[in-house]
Amino acid sequence: MKKILVIDDEDDFQHIVGQVLRDKNYSVTYAGDGVEGLEKIETEIPNLILLDINLPRMSGIEVLKRIRGHGSIIVKNLPVVMLTVRKKDEDQIKGLDNGADDYITKPFKPEELLSRINAVLKRGQKTKNL
């Protein structure tokens, strides 16, 4: 079972996304801010991270920079999908340029989220098999 870490400060959003993911047999854990998210990445080593930009204590972009700059190859290569209300082109470019594997804006359809997660996870598997 693949494990997804949702780093978002909105409890209602966490639970809605969590239910969608659990319905497709993903294991889901949550973090409510950037600092907690980094701690959970280290302790739980998820297969994929859904990361909001607007987080307390540390922005999602800063979390992403730390993930990509971390010494551990496992953590550096974790797929990260930005999942945020920020729709401006410059926000999307900043997320992707800092190492996000995909960028989804809220609101979104659950089917789109699942398709993008599956695509990112498949790309990661293909890379490991090369």
Q: How many domains does the chain have?
A: 1
Supply the pLDDT for residue 75.
74
Q: Is the peptide bond before 107 cis (omega within 30 degrees of 0)?
A: yes
| Helical spans, DSSP H, in 28-109 | 34-44, 60-69, 73-76, 89-97
pLDDT for 129 beyond 60: no
| More confident position, 16 or 73 | 16
pLDDT digits (tens, 9 = 90+) for 24-51: 999 999 999 999 999 999 898 899 999 9
Supply the pLDDT for residue 71.
60
Tokens linked to 48: 């994929």
The CATH number linked to 32 is 3.40.50.2300
Tokens linked to 3: 């494990």
Q: Which domain holds residue 83?
A: 3-129
In contact, 62 and 95? CB cutoff 8 Å: no
Tokens linked to 31: 């973090």
Supply the pLDDT for residue 130.
41
Supply the pLDDT for residue 84.
86
pLDDT digits (tens, 9 = 90+) for 60-112: 999 999 999 876 656 778 999 999 887 788 888 899 999 999 999 988 999 99
Residue 99 phi, psi dihedral angles, 5° rounding: 115, 5
